Amino acid sequence: MTTYSFSCTTIVVGKKASATGQIMFGRNSDTNPASRAKHLKLYKPTSQTAGFIALPYYNTEDQDGMLQVATNEFGVAISATETITSNAQALAADPYITTGVQEFNVTKPVMEQAATAKEAVKLIGARIAKEGAAEGFGIVLADKNEAWYLETASGTRWVAVRVPDDAYFVSANQGRIQEVGLDENGKFADGYMGSSDLISFAKQHGFYKEYNGRFDFRLTYQRINNIQTGGMDNDVNYNYLRIATLQNKFSSTSTENFKNGEFPTFLKPAHKLTLSDVEAGLSDYYQNTGNDPYTNPQASANYRPISVFRSSNSHVTVVRDNADQKIANVEYIALGMPNLSIYLPFYYGINEVPHAYQIGNGNADDSSAFWQFRKLQALVFTDFAHNEPIVRKRFKMLNDLILADQATMESKYKTSGNDQLIQDFVNRSTELAIQEAKKLTLELENKYKIAHPDEKVEFNNSYYDQLTLDIYNKYRFPGF
């Protein structure tokens, strides 16, 4: 059987691999179905817990669940989670625990307590050891000093690695941690953490594996073959080209042999990476290649791209070395499909989430931020090759204006310390983006009417509900 997963693509950039000297990490949050709206929510601090800002789904917000992108008052930031799966041998020896830690419940306890990225890793690891993991996942955790990537190994085991300052990391729905550093006593070396019996447990149960004479975590614990056939077809079609494409973008590596699935965990970029580099990576859909599924019908079933219609959001978090946590970390959030959206900056220092980002559900509407972007994205697919460049050009122009306004706001804030400057900027930028999405939607509706004079299309919310469903069904990209 073929499955359709809630999968994602993750990028982490070390501070010395970053053009600004700041850690960056981003992820496309892909979901089922494409009509599942996202909200932004502020969690106020209490006497017992830290405050934070997070991005749940509309139907998980009341349970404080699926808080997939978050940053707290201590400057600790998280992206949760990348869908991965342990292999059959590891799960036979240590199966998932249905009541354990999962994407739904992992974020809130960490954001409420962690004062550093390393502490955040230890908090999650302790929970996995005590409660078990309900599913396989990878999580990014970062502060101004360091970024970590944690992966589940099995039901109650895990490992984490510090991303080297001068390197970057990419992941696409498979375990990506390979070498695990050990000291002369067999203990985790600096920059590594995990279950104390990670290696001995695998040896005891007969699934321990090495690569070039050294313990390999990925080979030992993670699923890297299609479990139905024993082959690698689904991973080739679904995962590998995403990793190869990003490593080619950032390090000019070859994509010719991507089907063997052998990618380094960390690479140094050919040039120091910028915010726009990471956003462009997350917005990639194999454009200008024969594998572009949106303009080349013959390619539509070949390889799953990085940017897909069922992305509920994409984000890039910039973790900055700033004493004032109200503006230290910036979450650049694009709702919906990233190449047809705009990355807008949000700060922990806002006092209230813009109203349009507090509303929206599973049905199209005229008011929520999510649906203004999703309706436009759905309409683009009626003539993707011609509509997509129009949308990208207009959002690029607006993005440049917003970034200039952002720099001005931050300069004034640093002088005055006036919180209202942050709030006014976020309100202003989100309103400009929503209005631009609405203008573009109207323009493309009129363009469609001119191109199809015999069709009597009523562009109401019911139409967009159906169009969203149709496009979602067409571009599901079987695999994983």
Q: Which positions are catalytic?
A: 8
Q: Rounded CA gap, 460 and 385, in Å?
A: 24
Task: Give CA angle at 149 (107, 165), nearest 5°.
Answer: 125
Smallest Cα–Cα separation from 253: which of 238, 237, 270, 275? 270
Q: Rounded CA gap, 250 and 268, in Å?
A: 8
Cβ–Cβ under 8 Å, residues 265 and 179: yes
User: What number of CA atoms fall less than 13 Å from residue 254's CA on the CB side?
Assistant: 5
Q: Please classify residue 48 by burial: count the beta carbons closer than 10 Å to its beta carbon, then call 0-12 exposed, 13-18 middle and 19+ buried.
A: exposed
Q: What tokens were used for 131?
A: 């409660």
Cβ–Cβ under 8 Å, residues 244 and 263: yes
Q: Which DSSP letter does residue 445 get?
A: H
Q: Rounded CA gap, 305 and 307, in Å?
A: 6
Phi, psi of 185 (to 5 degrees): -95, 5
Q: What tokens were used for 387?
A: 């509509």
User: 225-234 burial, b if ≥16 CB within 10 A, otherwise e?
Assistant: ebeeeeebeb
Q: Please classify residue 460 by burial: count the beta carbons closer than 10 Å to its beta carbon, then call 0-12 exposed, 13-18 middle and 19+ buried.
A: exposed
Which residues are within 8 A (CB) of 404 and not within 5 positions of it... i.e. 6 or more apart?
none
Q: Rounded CA gap, 27 and 68, in Å?
A: 10
Q: Which DSSP letter does residue 18 get?
A: B
Q: Rounded CA gap, 408 and 27, in Å?
A: 27
Secondary structure element (H or E) that encloses residue 171, with its range: strand 168-171
Q: What tokens were used for 461?
A: 């919310």
DSSP codes, 91-133: HHHS---TTSB-TTTSHHHHHHH-SSHHHHHHHHHHHHHHH-B
